[in-house]
């Protein structure tokens, strides 16, 4: 685990991937993220320049696909549900709120390590971007006590959407399991959207190559990958905590098959799964 200076290399990598996608990939785009671009441009050297100069590099292309597919899935689900409490766990430089702000009528809470939240605040201020969310400092290695959210104005008696994207791989499996159990006391109808990395025997070749490259990069930056899992284990963690799993899908299946025909750099890979689960609601709201 990295030190407490706040800077998260993996958070910057994800933001740069979202910023670059509309610039270097073919339409239709999975999302537009001008705020991520502003955040990148406000740091020197801009992390976006690697993406723009080498869009063909497999590790950069795979990062764009991964960061954009999960956010596309999360944005659509959040807006479809119409739930007005949003908790973004392991927020880093997440820009969901800035992407949906004109369609999301509710409040949001950002959870991350204290140093990361302070760094985020400074970066947004320097970039001149409003960040209208409550900050909740927590180290997920100790679980997430819903009381911390409550102290920041969260209503535990009303449903919430919890986004936990690009984070589970940085926690040991026991902590991932504890995290989903910690949140199981939230209100009926709450929704958890998260991603996890498949264990090696479930990956295809592209997924294995990307995993090696990113895990090495993240490990060198002090953010090693600690959790990979089989779908059956992820489902068991959720179900034993009372979550009902509605979807557990390959990240690449977020997009229609014809999407790939137009892409020069992006290719589907089998490595990361996206999950949509809810508390004690067996039918996915339409
Ligand atoms: C790859 S970034 C993802 C950021 C954001 N969710 C996104 O999709 O752009 C991983 C984030 O998880 C956070 N994280 C990792 N370990 C954590 C821990 N033990 N407690 C709290 N946050 C943690 C990091 O600080 C970082 O912001």
pLDDT given at position 223: 87
**Residue 132 CB partners (closer than 8 Å, separation 6+):** 97, 101, 108
In contact, 131 and 113? CB cutoff 8 Å = no
Q: What is the pLDDT of residue 266?
A: 97
**Among the atoms of ligand 1, which is closest to the Cα of residue 67?**
8
Closest atom of ligand 1 to CA, residue 89: 6
Q: Which atom in ligand 1 lies closest to the alpha carbon of residue 15?
A: 9
Listed residue (171, 176, 229) closest to 10, CA to CA: 171
Q: What's the pLDDT at 45?
A: 87
Pocket test for ligand 1, best of 6, 39, 67, 90 (most atoms within 8 A of CB): 90
Contact 33, 6 (CB under 8 A): no
Q: Could you tell me the distance, in angstroms and rounded to a whole number, from the CA of residue 146 to the centre of ligand 1?
A: 18
pLDDT of residue 90: 97
121, 166, 202: which is closest to 13 by C-alpha?
Answer: 166
Distance of CA 107 to the CA centre of its chain: 18
Compute the distance between CA of residue 3 and CA of residue 20 in angstroms, rounded to an integer: 28
Distance CA 89, CA 162 (A): 7
Architecture of domain 9-279: 3-Layer(aba) Sandwich (3.40)
Q: Where do we find the tokens 């706040």?
A: 6
**Atom 12 of ligand 1, residue of closest alpha carbon:** 90
pLDDT in tens, the chain (286 residues): 444 568 899 999 999 999 999 999 999 999 999 999 999 999 888 899 999 999 999 999 999 999 999 999 999 999 999 999 999 999 999 999 999 999 999 999 999 999 999 999 999 999 999 998 999 999 999 999 999 999 999 999 999 999 999 999 999 999 999 999 999 999 999 999 999 999 999 999 999 999 999 888 888 888 899 999 999 999 999 999 999 999 999 999 999 889 999 999 999 999 999 999 999 766 655 5
What's the CA gap between 283 and 259, in Å, rounded?
Answer: 29
How far is residue 79 from each of residues 42, 76, 85, measured CA to CA in Å? 29, 5, 12
**What 3-state class would DSSP assign to 94?**
coil
**Tokens linked to 64:** 């764009």
Protein residue whose Cα sits closest to atom 27 of ligand 1: 92
- HSE at residue 68, side-chain half, CA atoms within 13 A, is 27
- Please give the pLDDT value at position 219: 86
């Amino acid at each position: 685990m990295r030190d407490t200076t706040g800077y998260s290399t993996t958070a910057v990598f994800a933001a740069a991937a979202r910023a670059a996608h509309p610039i270097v990939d073919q339409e239709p785009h999975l999302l537009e993220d001008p705020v991520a671009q502003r955040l990148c441009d406000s740091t020197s050297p801009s992390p976006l320049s690697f993406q723009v100069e080498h869009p063909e590099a497999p590790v950069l292309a795979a990062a764009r696909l991964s960061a954009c597919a999960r956010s596309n899935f999360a944005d659509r689900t959040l807006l479809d549900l119409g739930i007005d409490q949003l908790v973004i766990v392991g927020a880093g430089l997440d820009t969901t709120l800035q992407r949906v702000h004109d369609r999301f009528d509710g409040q949001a809470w950002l959870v991350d390590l204290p140093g990361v939240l302070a760094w985020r605040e400074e970066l947004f201020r320097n970039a001149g971007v409003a960040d209208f969310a409550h900050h909740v400092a927590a180290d997920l290695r100790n679980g997430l006590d819903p009381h911390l959210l409550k102290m920041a104005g969260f209503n535990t008696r009303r449903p919430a959407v919890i986004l936990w994207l690009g984070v589970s791989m940085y926690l040991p499996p026991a902590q991932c399991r504890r995290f989903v159990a910690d949140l199981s006391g939230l209100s009926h109808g709450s929704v958890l959207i998260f991603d996890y990395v498949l264990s090696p025997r479930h990956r295809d070749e592209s997924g294995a190559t990307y995993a090696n490259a990113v895990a090495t990069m993240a490990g060198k930056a002090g953010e090693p990958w600690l959790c990979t899992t089989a779908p059956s284990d992820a489902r068991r963690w959720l179900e034993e905590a009372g979550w009902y799993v509605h979807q557990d899908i390959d990240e690449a299946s977020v997009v229609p098959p014809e999407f790939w025909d137009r892409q020069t750099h992006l290719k589907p890979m089998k490595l990361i799964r996206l999950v949509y689960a809810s508390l004690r609601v067996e039918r996915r709201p339409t």
